[in-house]
């Protein structure tokens, strides 16, 4: 039975939050340490080593995405400047939320891009328009053009997933959409080609094991050409499988929350919420509020 389109819109946002919460406990850990300390993530877990967050809690990736969701729903949705102002007002006055503490462009923007993917689909925005939106809205979070490219690439992949019948979309189609969006964004934003090059490298390796894909990305650290391309490749590798694909992706380690966010958004856009285990949604912090925000976003954008 076809999944209702509305469910796929909502699942894009909720799926990103679920993936973030799954990856949260092992954020920053190597694959070896994921296996040593957690025996692999198979369900929602607390951050048992650092003891920062509990079961089902999410990171700044979802906090940014929720702020963006509310801004798009509350401001005039076709006015980039109004949405930018609303987004900045929604962000807590927290430097870590506004500027990731790394020295290179990060995957944080891609991890927060689910609402913009929904917008791109419902408003018919193509790659260049989405790249402009990403650069304007996310400048407060990360001013580097390459980070905006990663966000635009995730938006393009989400738009493609939402626009296709899941049974008619192949894994290479997902990666191709992300690659094309990255190329377009690099051109319009005058960014270097590290994101599109990485996605291009992965194109011929979608049958490789996750750790091999991680190696091809030079790791799954927070950089825009590491965690994000790896996440897209994991979905492209097994787009029909939700639970196993999401768990395999986060268990590689590295920037597991960003990887989980990107993978969860893409799988939600493809399949809706039904394939996500009920226990994950039940444990997710503020699940009802996030669902309501996603519903309000869809309403504001005509979905």
Residues 201, 209: contact at Cβ < 8 Å? Answer: no
Residue 160 assigned as binding residue: no
Phi/psi region, residue 44 (left: phi>0; alpha: psi -120 to 50; beta: rest), is beta
Residue 61 assigned as binding residue: yes
Residue 93 assigned as binding residue: no
Q: Residue 287, class by beta-carbon neighbours within 10 Å (0-12 exposed, 13-18 middle, 19+ buried)?
A: middle
| CA distances for 169 relative to 59, 207, 283, angstroms | 30, 17, 30
Residues 111, 20: contact at Cβ < 8 Å? Answer: yes
Residues 75, 86: contact at Cβ < 8 Å? Answer: yes
> Residue 79: which residues within 8 A CB-CB, separation 6 or more?
none
Question: What backbone torsions phi and psi does residue 119 show, to the nearest 5 degrees?
Answer: -60, -45
In the annotated binding site, the residues are: 59, 61, 255
In the annotated binding site for Mg(2+), the residues are: 59, 61, 255
């Amino acid at each position: 039975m076809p999944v209702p389109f509305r469910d796929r819109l909502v699942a894009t946002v909720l799926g990103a939050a679920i993936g973030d919460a799954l990856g949260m406990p092992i954020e920053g850990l190597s694959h070896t340490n994921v296996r040593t300390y957690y025996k692999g993530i198979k369900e929602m877990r607390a951050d048992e080593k650092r003891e920062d967050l509990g079961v089902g809690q999410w990171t700044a990736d979802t906090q940014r995405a929720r702020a963006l969701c509310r801004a798009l729903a509350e401001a005039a949705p076709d006015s980039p400047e109004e949405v930018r102002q609303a987004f900045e007002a929604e962000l807590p006055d927290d430097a870590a939320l506004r500027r990731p503490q790394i020295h290179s462009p990060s995957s944080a923007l891609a991890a927060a891009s689910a609402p913009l993917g929904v917008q791109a689909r419902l408003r018919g925005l193509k790659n260049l328009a989405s790249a402009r939106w990403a650069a304007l809205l996310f400048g407060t979070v990360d001013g580097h053009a390459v980070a905006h490219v990663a966000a635009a690439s995730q938006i393009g992949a989400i738009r493609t997933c939402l626009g296709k019948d899941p049974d008619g979309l192949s894994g290479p189609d997902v990666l191709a959409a992300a690659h094309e969006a990255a190329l377009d964004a690099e051109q319009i934003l005058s960014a270097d080609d590290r994101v599109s090059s990485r996605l291009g490298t992965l194109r011929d390796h979608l049958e490789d094991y996750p750790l091999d894909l991680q190696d091809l990305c030079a790791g799954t650290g927070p950089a825009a050409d590491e965690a994000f391309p790896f996440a897209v490749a994991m979905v492209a590798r097994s787009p029909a499988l939700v639970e196993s694909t999401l768990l395999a992706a986060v268990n590689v380690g590295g920037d597991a929350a960003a990887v989980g966010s990107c993978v969860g958004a893409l799988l939600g856009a493809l399949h809706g919420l039904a394939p996500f285990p009920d226990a994950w949604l039940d444990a997710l912090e503020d699940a009802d509020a996030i669902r309501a925000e996603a519903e309000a976003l869809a309403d504001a954008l005509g979905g």
